[in-house]
Amino acid sequence: GKTGTAQKVDPRGGYEEGKYVVSFAGYLPADHPEFVGLVVLDDAHTSKPELNYGGLVAGPIFARLAEKAARYLDLEPHEEIRKAIPVERVEKKVPAERIHKTASAERIALTNASRH
């Protein structure tokens, strides 16, 4: 699948702080698609707005839809998936100021690139 995260444009200029459109698009099965889906959330209200990214917000919604579609279409999992070994989930807190600095740096880079 493919994720998308875009900061919303402020009508007065620039971008709206903490407001995003997030998305996830995907299909299954990979070798002969029978299900195609696109999940788009405009200004999703999450418990942690600093983590409002397509892969974290829209991705899990797509995954639930894809699971239901796979059952409905009676699709068998690939052999690799059947043999998959569960991995331990690791979570690490990233300070909000680090996330904001990264977002600001990306915004500056994109603004500078659009001027050329």
Three-state SS sequence of 1-63: CEEEEEEEECCCCCEEEEEEEEEEEEEECCCCCCEEEEEEEECCCCCCHHHCCHHHHHHHHHH
**41-62 pLDDT per residue, tens:** 998 877 777 778 888 889 999 9
pTM: 0.63
**Are 58 and 43 a contacting pair, CB within 8 Å?**
no
CA dist list (Å): 70 to 33, 76, 91, 105: 11, 8, 29, 40
pLDDT, block means (10 residues), the chain with 116 residues: 92 90 92 93 81 88 92 77 57 62 57 56
